[in-house]
Every structure is written in C-alpha cells, then in structure tokens.
A and B are shown apart, each in its own frame.
Chain A
Amino acid sequence: MGESAKRTVSNVVVTLVGLLVAFLIIFPIIWLLFSSFKPSNELFAYPLHLFPQNPTAESYFGVVEDGIFVYFKNSLFLAVMGTIITVITSAMCGYALAIYRKELNYTNKVFAVFLLGTLIPGEILTIAQFTVVSEIGLYNNIWGCILPVVTTTTGIFMYRQHYMSIPLELAESARIDGANEALIFGKIMLPLGSAVTITLTIFSFMWRWNDYILPLMLLSDQKNFTIQIAVKSYIGTMGVDWNSILSASVLSIVPVIIIFIFLQKYITGGIAATGVKG
C-alpha cells in the first residue's frame, strides 16, 4: 500500500471514530430532546422509539403554565446582574493589583487575601452565608443569591495577569498628559482588557445561569425561583414528574447553547489559555 493510500485509510478511520465518539457524547441530549416531545403514554411504554410517534408539545405548554417564563426572567436577572458586578469589580481589582505593583509594596498581600477564596469551596460556607444573607434581610430575595457569589478570584486573577503584561509606561505617559487614575482605567486600560472582559462575561453568565445551591436554600417563594430550582421542583420525594422535567430541562439549556453557538471561540479559547473554572 502506498503512503498516500495509507494516509487516506487512517483519515477515514480516525474521522469515523471521531464522529462516533461525538455522537455517543451528544446522544443523551438528543434522547432528552426527542423524549420531551413524547406524550406520557409513549414515555412509559415499550418498545421505545427514538423519534416520537405522536409528537406533542403538551409538556412544554404544561411548564409554561407552571410559570417557566417567570423563572427564566429571574435567572436572567441573576445572571445579568451578577455578571455586570463580577466584570466591573474584577476588572477594577485585577487592574489595581497589577498596575500599582511597583509603587505599593502590599499589592501582593491584598491579592493573597483573595487567594484565600480559592482555598475553601463556597459549598462549605453555605450555612454561614445563608445566615449573613438572612441577617441583612435578603432571604427570599434574588440579590441574596447574587452578592455572595460575584467576587471570583478567577476573574480578578485573569485581569491581574492581563494587566501585568501591559507596560507600565502606558499609564505613566497618560499621567504626564494629565489624565487621572480613573480616566486612565476607564478610557485606556479597560478597552485593552476587552479579551478578558468578553471571556469573563461569558463564563460568569454561564456560572450564574447554572447556580444551584444558594438559590435552592434562599428562595422560598415560588415566584422567586430560578430556572434550576424550577427544574429541581419537579423532583419530589415520591418520584419525578418526568413529563415536565424533560421539557423544563431542555428549555433551561437553550440560553447557554445559544451563547455557545455565537461565542464559541471565546469559550474554548478561554479555557485553553487560562483554565477558567468557576
């Protein structure tokens, strides 16, 4: 067999394996999606079919009636507000830690305080966070789910790393031109950090959209539920309302899938470059 024929064979084999693996990984989602359009007598009857025999959007109407759009709105509020605060505070903090590192000898000590945040997982502190949030009157309030999670060491770290690579002379010359510190940050430095801003915005949005523990513990009133809690509410101690949970699950992932489709390169690039992890 010639060299090029050999290469063709290996191309075909590897590509087939790749497509098969991709299909296997994506299959549970396909199965979820098709199942969500089956009426209950089809969900729970053998033999199973991949495609719904009598497709129906009945269960989707059901979850809409249960108020899924209200939960969507709550999740959107949580994700958008949380992301705005995360991006602004992280940018300011990471910037300051990097840009004043030569003038002030304690910037690294301040950074070390934030690194404490990576030592202990939030899950361990939930009970005490719950107490703090309740004390300041934010129990059953979406802000109680936002404020405790907006400070991410990851975000501060990303900006700090980015601004460390920018020459300090840039700030210096702007100062000579008479710009004050806030202006230098807002007008010159923030635009220079837009790559980090985009990556952090996307990741923060997805983290907040998928937040689970604090909303579960803090939101008692059904009208305040986020989408994750709404999905969870279909799991009862006596069993699962499969009809509703399948369609609610499908709907819950639509926003992140849309973001992923449009902003894919920032997401995959972000992980490869910085190893972002919420």
Chain B
Amino acid sequence: MKAVVKNGVAVFSPQGFLDANSTSAFLNIEDVTAAENLKADMILVSLKKVIFFNRNGLDAFVKLFYKIRKKNHAIVGFCDYDDKKYHAIKKFYKGEINFSLFKTLDIAYLFSTGFKNQNKKILLYSSDKSQRTTMAIELHDGGHNPIVAQSQEEYESKKKNTDAYDYIIDSTFLGDTGDKVATRVTGNAIIYTVSGFLDAQINERFNLLYHQNSLNVGFRLFIFDAYKVVSMNVHALNFFSKLSSSAAEYNATICFVGLSFEKTQIEFKETLEDAGILFYEQMDDILKNKELLNELGASSAANIKNKRALNKQTVKELPSFIDAAIITIEMMTNSKAIKKSAEIHNLTIDIKKGKIASSIGYYGELDGMVILVFPVTIAKKACELLIGESTDDIELILDTLAELVNIVGGKIKTLLSEHNIKVDITLPRTYQDVDSLLEVVGDKKGVQVDLSFDDDEFLFFLTR
C-alpha cells in the first residue's frame, strides 16, 4: 500500500479489518522503504475506513513509525478515528505512546510544518493537562490562536458556539513531535522556525530538498525565525554559512530574526554576516517594510540563477514533456488535445483575463521548469476528477491544480526515466493570475506550445 502525499503529509488509508496478518500484508518491504524515503513532515495512518483493529494490527504500523522517526524525524501517528477507536488505542498502548493521534486529518494539518493557513482560532481540550499545554504551544508556534478549555465543562460550553472557532480539537494526543525545522510561506518569503540549541543535528532537521526546491521555483528571501534559539555551536555555524553561500548563487537572501547572542559567541554573528546573512530584531522589521522587502528580493520571485537557454538535450526530450502534460490533461478531462503551434520565444499570453497557471520545476540530469496556463474553465474541468464536483472556489481550484501539476511532474519523471534520464521534481506552484506568472518567468525564452482541449485554449511553456 502506498501513501498519498499532500502538503508534506503522507497518509496510508487501509480499509476494513486490521489484525496482525492483514497489517503485514499492507506494508511489504517496498512500501516500508518508500515510506522511509518520503520527504514528508508527517506520516499518518488513517483509520477512517477501518472497522476493526486490534493491538497486533496496529503494531506493524507502530514499528514503521519508529523506523521512520529514527530516519527522518517526521511526526508519525494515526488519524481519522472516533472516540471509541481513540480510547481503544490509548488503552492498547497505555503509557507508552510515542506516536501522535489526530482526530481528523484537518487537525493533523494544523500541526504540520507546511500548513499554509495560519492564524486559525482553535478551541482545544484534553483531559491531560500537559497535553493541553503542549498542543497549545505547538499551535501557537505554528502561528495559530489556541483557546484552551481547562475543564470538560468549559469545553462543552465553549464548543456550543461553533461559529467562534475555525477548528475544535479534542481526542487528540501529541506524541514525540517532529523535530524538523518548521516551514511556512508568507508572500514570496519562506520562513523557517528554529529553536533550542542548534548543533550538527540541524543537518537532519532542516529539509534541504525543500529549500533547494524553493530556490529552483524562484523564492529569493528566506527568514529564520530564531526567537527561541538558545545558542548555536560551530557545526550549526558552518551549516548556515554554507546555506548562505549556496543561496547567493541564486541571488537569494537569508535573514535571521530575533537571534540573541547572550549564549552564542558574538564572533559567530560576524562570521555569518561575512557569509551574507542579515540580522533583524523583529519579524515585522522585514515583513512590514515594503522597501526593505523589495531590496531583499521578496517582491519579485524571478529566478536569477536559472536564466539559461534551452539546451540540445532539453529540446530532444521535448516530446516527453509535452506528452506528460497532454496525457495528464487528457486523462483528467477525458477530452482530446489538438496541438496548434510550437515555437521558441518569450512566454506570450495574448488574453490574460480568466486564466490561471501552475508551474513545476525539475532538476537532476536535466533541469528546467514546465508552466501550464489554463483558462479557468478547463482548469475547473481538469480538477473535477480530483474534487468530484464542479466548483467556483478559486482557492480549491488552485489547490487541486497544484495536485494536477504534480501528476504532470510525476509523468515527466517517468517518461524521462524511460530514456535513462533521472530527474527529481520540485513542489508545484500556482498563480491566481497571469501577471504573477510573468513576473517569475521574466524575459526567459522557452518552447511555447499552444493546444486546445474541446475548443478551450491551453498553453504549455518549457524553460530553464
């Protein structure tokens, strides 16, 4: 059984009955290896469609949790259960629960490092006082506003006012939380949250692949929220210096906010400044200063390093890229594509109104970026297979479009591997309007292919 990964959260969804025999069948060696290698911040098993389980049935998953935690420090646990299942799990494992339990997947997202919608008002209750505190701290660190009920009565009373809260959390347990560096995106800046003592472990806790992907897709400002950092040693110093040097290749900036040098050698600050890292007292010093944001590069997401011409190999593999996009859109819309033209020039979009776009980068033995520009109508149609119904909710459409482009990326990877070319794909990025896309692409040249699906115009652009 393979996990479905979305927004850095990987979910296994077994169905039916979980006992010792069935669970081992759910997780063969290949699945375990694939799960271990997932770059997910959180790996969960959904119990939504499980009607029966016993301790032996859960144990195989728990063993997998330990392996994964040891290897990649992700948050691991179960989600999507009712009160009966929650109490059964607590009873099975009593005081030895090191994994987490999230009543719903949406609640799990609140605790994930990549959750995009911060500032949620959350009512929270657990009969365990230390759990209440731990969850409140984690949510607060994630940029939310937790309201902690101190008793069951208070919780029941507050819960009645459902409109007052975006989320209500109960029957949830935080085991060992992931010690990965939390990441969030604000506009065109990426904010990493670091805390405690920074040492050699930072290499494992920091998602370097995500950082590299962010550089590849055009982010240029990276802020380390370091209010809670106690001190750092020379290993962490080296890590940040190297990170800054590699960011410089992309003309990107790295900043530290709120870092105190009470317990860290002041010479470290000088070394980091020499490496190009900037220091600020408050986050608002950056985020609320538009002039400074412009200067640091957060107003533009143009990718400086990758301003390169298409090479021969990319052109040779062009049919694979186009096929990947066409096959996927044909699959999602169940309609036939007609290729109208293919030319090399700057990205040219004649009619910008009513269009949205998405891009995905790839890197490895080949590198570049595929951009798809859709009329909203065809984007909606393409997303219906994933959503299950027609929608006008632009946020939902963009979110689903990202999944769709992820499928295109996966297809590109597969088609290129058939030609013995190994590439990895970046996280997808979506654009609510064409102007923000053009800002990223700038004046780069690429191959533009105009296509039509059932008379809807669709644009494919490949650039480096």
Question: Are these two chains actual partners, yes or no?
Answer: no
Interface residues of B (CB under 8 A from A): none
